[in-house]
Amino acid sequence: MSIRRGYSDTPAVQVHWRMAGEAGGAPDLVCLHPAPFSGLAFTTIMPLLARNRQVIAPDFPGHGGSDPGRADATIADYAQAMASVVEDLAGSVPVDLFGFHTGCLVACELALTRPQAVRRLVLVDVPAFDPETRADQLAESAVPPGFTPELESLAPAWERGITRRIESQGMDRSFAMFVEQLRHGEAMNAGFHAGFSYEVEDRLARIAHPATVIATQSGLLDATRRAARLIPQARLVERLDITRAVLDEAAAETASEVLRALDA
């Protein structure tokens, strides 16, 4: 199945997106990506999700092919841009949201601020950290990566994009993810900072939409379980057999759970 690309104009920036499948079956599914990457993260799983629906994977402002965003962007800023994309591509028909990592928070905020535009939420590996953990990480995420002419300044990005991925995703896919995060330049940590600034206790407790929270065996396991407790109508699904590469090596298993949640 081919993946098409395009752009939507929002009040602040132009947003790049990827699309698979055809509209007219099940509600459109909008995939919201993890920081510091882009909708590229979903290209393996998109065809598995798009068998009877249109699947859209936008890039947040400042990510991927979208226009640069604010260095101090918030989750609300990302959600506002995504709302414009949903309006552009789906009109007044409610969509389903699939969030992964940081994308889970953007999905929650989009559901809160545009409730009429959203039908269901599926949240995989949610960074719903407690206030103390968020405070500890917030200061670190505020520090730019500090790129220099020295090759060593790329080491953290190489670790995140290549070293942690190559065994489960192969060199080509890992290198693509490595390059994608570098498009931010010194704003690479903006998405992390937005996530650690997000008041999950207050915001998640306000969600009124049906939500399925899927927890894999990852460093976000406890935080994901916490998210399921915070969201009033959440149903927790634990897939502890999925231990890595949720959207790639385990794409079939993840897609199966996402579709089961959407079709419930």
pLDDT, tens digit (0-9, with 9 covering 90-100), for 59-103: 999 999 999 988 789 999 999 999 999 999 998 899 999 999 999
Q: What is the pLDDT of residues 159-204, one digit of tens each?
A: 988 998 899 999 999 999 999 989 888 888 899 999 999 999 999 9
Contacts of 59 (CB under 8 A, 6+ apart): 15, 16, 17, 33, 38, 39, 65, 66
Residue 151 to residue 154: CA distance in whole angstroms: 6
**Is the Cβ–Cβ distance between 94 and 120 less than 8 Å?**
no
User: CATH code for 4-138+187-259?
Assistant: 3.40.50.1820
For the cut 90, the answer to whether the pLDDT of residue 28 exceeds it is yes
**Is the Cβ–Cβ distance between 192 and 239 less than 8 Å?**
no
- In this prediction, residue 176 carries a pLDDT of 93
Residue 125 to residue 216: CA distance in whole angstroms: 7
What's the mean pLDDT in 234-256? Answer: 96
- In this prediction, residue 208 carries a pLDDT of 96
| 139 to 135, 142, 209: CA distances (angstroms) | 7, 5, 32
pTM strictly above 0.85: yes
Give 237's strand partners: 214
